[in-house]
Amino acid sequence: MKTCILFPGQGAQSIGMGKDLYDAEPEVRRLFEEASDASSTDLAALIFSGTEDELKQTRNAQLALALIDTAAAAALRNRGVVADGAAGFSLGEWAALCEAGVVPFAEMIRLVAERGRLMDEAGRRSGGSSMSAVLGLEPKAIEAALAAAGVKDAWIANYNAPGQSVLSGTEAGLASAEEAVKAAGAKRAIRLKVSGAFHSPIMRYAYDGFKELLCDVAFADPRIAFYSNVTGGRVDSGEELRSLAAEQIISPVRWIDEEQAILADGYDRLVEAGPGSVLAGLWKSAGSEIGVSPAGTAAQIAALEP
pLDDT in tens, 27-48: 999 999 999 999 999 999 999 9
Do both 214 and 282 map to the same domain?
yes
Is the confidence at residue 160, as pLDDT, over 90? yes
**91 and 233 part of one domain:** yes
Does residue 199 carry a catalytic annotation? yes
Nearest to 167, CA basis, from 158, 175, 176, 294: 158
Q: What is the pLDDT of residues 109-135, one digit of tens each?
A: 999 999 999 999 999 999 899 999 999
pLDDT score, position 268: 95
What are the backbone angles phi and psi of residue 107, rounded to the nearest 5°? -65, -40
Does residue 169 share a domain with residue 145? yes
* Options 165, 168, 195, 199, the catalytic residue: 199
Q: What is the mean pLDDT of residues 78-100?
A: 97
Confidence (pLDDT) at 287: 86
Q: Is 90 a catalytic residue?
A: yes
pTM assigned to the model: 0.97
Residues 96 and 209 in one domain: yes
| Same structural domain, 184 and 274 | no
- Domain of 263, CATH number, reads 3.40.366.10
Tell me phi and psi for residue 130, to 5 degrees. Answer: -160, -165
φ, ψ of residue 168 to 5 degrees: the values are: -125, 145
Which of the residues 36, 90, 129, 228 is marked catalytic? 90
Half-sphere exposure in the Cβ direction for 57 (13 Å, CA): 15
The pLDDT of residue 20 is 97
Same domain, 18 and 47: yes
166/228 same-domain check: no
Residues 186 and 209 in one domain: no
Residue ranges making up the domain that contains 169: 127-192
Average pLDDT (52-63) is 95
Please say whether the beta carbons of 274 and 68 come within 8 A: yes
Among 192, 220, 248, give the residue marking a domain's end. Answer: 192
134 & 118 share domain: no
